[in-house]
Amino acid sequence: MRVTVAGSGYVGLVLGACLADTGNDVIGYDIDAEKVRTLNEGKNPIFEPGLTELLVNGLQHKRLHFTTNIKDAIDHAQVVFIAIGTAPRPDGSADLSGIEAFAWDMATVTSRPMTVAIKSTVPVGTCERVEKLINEKCAHAVHVVSNPEFLKEGSAVFDFQRPDRVVIGFEHAYSGELIRELYGPYVRNQRPILMMPRRAAEMAKYACNGILASRISFINEIAALCEACEVDVDDVRRVMGTDQRIGFQFLYPGAGYGGSCFPKDVRALVHTAKTVDVASRMLSSTHETNESQKRVLFAKIQKRMGDLKGKTFALWGIAFKPNTDDIREAPALTLIRQLKEAGAAVRAHDPEALVHLKKEFKDGVVYCDDNYDALKGADALVICTEWNEFRSPDFDRIRSTLKQPLVFDGRNLYEPSSMRRSGLEYHAIGKPVVKG
């Protein structure tokens, strides 16, 4: 099938590369000429496992290329996917200006009936709004389908190729079936394709992210209670997780969630609730709890070390989660700002995200290509991201390199017994302090 994907970010690139991999003829459209040029050279601007290989393979087999020419992109397509970002406005609502601008431009060049599928996470009613916008200007019928993405950064290619389910919201049967056909190669093992009205599909995406975010905030509140009551949160988690009604997923206490989805989508849900006069106390609390949780590591550091002026901290992990270079709303950013405001210096290491961190902080941060190099001259080690390379470090080397044998772990990576044997003082989330 001939497919155009508008937007070449995390969602659009994965979508286009995966569709090309199953034999579709895909054009990626983007207004960023430099990005288009580098993509056509096979250079992947983001870190996502498996994506670069798919990108290069699609280009080599001429099933994938990128353009800034919207007429060429639309003339090519049987289906147009919109994967354009919807950044949050100050009031929490989703900014749809990028999607609307594309829809307006698309309407001016569309020369035949067309199916459009919105992958972006958008408020209820957006598909109707975009369809109306296009059809008011276009002489040919354009039908808009909701096809929300459920990809996790760090495993997005795997998630696309082996989806738990595919959601298609439609009002016109032909367009719904066209999108269903595209997903055929990915659902051969009886993974469900859930067909429903567009508004339900739009709401379902927000609801999924809302409940996942709420589980994280819930376990973080339980972790705070555990600390206050001198209980190890891992014992509590084991009881909760082995209850089949609950399970372990997203019940991992830590320094808070970040990224481009959970923070934005929870705020958008709260905003939607206000506009329709529905109380959203739990969702509001989910967001507030997470914002507070991002400050927990600094509070632990300050409580233990007092005045931080002139102190240096080794920071392992910047990305909001492992296996991605995305630092949007990452807890590490909050911590770095707090440490800098307190007069401390930071030596930071991340396997993939340093290039983005350098755009955020021009001074007060030393960027280290090696995690052990970050320890040099540091008064303590702080862990913000659970990259695999941090899971089994040389604890003796950590202790001998740090000025003080202090570790603050925002992801609960280590066994307290291991830290005690290694002579390291260990401050984790929801656990008693270990005195090395």
Distance between CA atoms of residues 338 and 331, nearest Å: 11
Question: Among candidates 385, 377, 381, 429, which has minimal Cα distance to 405?
Answer: 381
Distance between CA atoms of residues 179 and 226, nearest Å: 48
Distance between CA atoms of residues 122 and 315, nearest Å: 35
Where is 273: in which H helix or E strand?
A: helix 262-275
Distance between CA atoms of residues 306 and 326, nearest Å: 32
Structural contact between residues 150 and 163, judged by C-beta atoms closer than 8 angstroms: yes
β-partners of residue 5 are: 28, 81
Distance between CA atoms of residues 1 and 89, nearest Å: 36
Query: What SS3 string covers 286-322?
Result: HHHHHHHHCCHHHHHHHHHHCCCCCCEEEEECCCCCC
**Amino acid identity for residue 347 in this structure:** R
Contacts from 398-401 at CB under 8 Å and sequence distance 24+? 398/422, 398/424, 399/423, 399/424, 399/436, 401/372, 401/375, 401/376
Q: Is 208 a catalytic residue?
A: no
β-partners of residue 27 are: 4, 65
Structural contact between residues 199 and 125, judged by C-beta atoms closer than 8 angstroms: yes
**Which residue in 18, 138, 226, 261 is the catalytic one?**
261
**Amino acid identity for residue 93 in this structure:** S
Q: Active-site positions?
A: 261
